[in-house]
Structure 1
Amino acid sequence: MARTRKYRIITTLERVNNRLTRWALRRGLAPRAFALLETTGRRSGLPRHTPVGNGLDGDTFWLVAAHGEQADHVRNLLAEPAVRVKVAGRWRTGRATPLPEDDTGRRSRSLPYQWDAAIGRMMATRPLTVRIDLDAG
């Protein structure tokens, strides 16, 4: 899968932002607009943490992955759909299901934090909706 110039530029900027946001999320210092997604590394088998927009809706967590299957966290959840999400300082377990037929623009506009969702739509190269069905908590 060829990576576009836009993808390379955006992901370079995201690496720096993700490090800062991940640090803040781990310490409970990040804004509520963000959550921490934990997947299992598809090759290493180790936990991998990725900052994502907060898409919590009851016992469902909605994620619009801006780069779709190009993103490592999406590749990881395709290999192992059991995930955890840290929202508002609390870990919840769940199962991820990619929804390639979903209207990502519409889904993104339905998320609770619109400023973050709007940035995601601008940066997106191959957006993909992922529904995470969370265990009752």
Structure 2
Amino acid sequence: MPRSPETKYCVVTAFQRRLNAVMRRLPAHTLLETTGRVSGLPRRTPVGGRRVGDSFWLVSEFGERSQYVRNIMADPRVRVRLRGRWHTGTAHLLPDDDTTARLRALPRLNSAAVRVVGVGQLTVRVDLDG
């Protein structure tokens, strides 16, 4: 694994860019759709997380450096595709949440990947409409 957090970030994001292009096309994969803060266009990011009641929880592996988190900071209105169905909602960044504990409550495989590759994780809660 790369030595510095900056190198790790660059290597992981380059890999994810290619992987996400494939994952976005899988009909059953969970997607988070934000509005691009510069372009204003929809941006779809494959994510791992879990719906709990009327909320969807996820942990961003790079915190505020993640592009979708930056988009949420500019406009918290999002959509989440769960099991092939789109849900609208409002995203909330939770910097005081214990990401280690949160990852234990989320899907194992994704949580393990976030723990291994992540630096500066950040919990995101999406309050789903209706």
Q: TM-score range by the shorter chain?
A: over 0.9
Residue 72 (structure 1) aligns with: 67
Match for residue 120 of structure 1?
A: 114
Match of 1:52 in 2: 47
Q: Structure 2 regions of 5+ residues with no counterpart?
A: none
TM alignment of 1:75-86, pairs within 5 A: 75-86=70-81
Q: Segments of 4+ in structure 1 off by > 6 A?
A: none
Give the distance between the partners of 1:76 and 1:90, measured in 2 at CA: 22
TM-score (norm 2): 0.92
Question: In structure 1, what is the Cα distance between the partners aligned to 2:12 and 2:32?
Answer: 19
Give the drift of 1:23: 1.4
The total of aligned residue pairs comes to 126
Q: TM-score, normalised on structure 1?
A: 0.88
Q: In structure 1, the residue corresponding to 2:120 is in which secondary structure?
A: coil
Q: Equivalent residue for 1:10?
A: 12
Amino acid at match of 1:42: R
For residues 19-75 of structure 1, what are the alpha-carbon distances to aligned partners after superposition, in whole Å with 9 as ceiling and x for unaligned? 110111xxx2x4xxx410000010111111000003211210001000111111000
Q: Distance in 1 between matches of 2:44 and 2:109?
A: 22
Distance 1:98 1:13 in 2: 25
Q: Is the 8 A contact 1:39 1:48 kept in 2?
A: yes
Q: Does 1:132 align with 2:123?
A: no
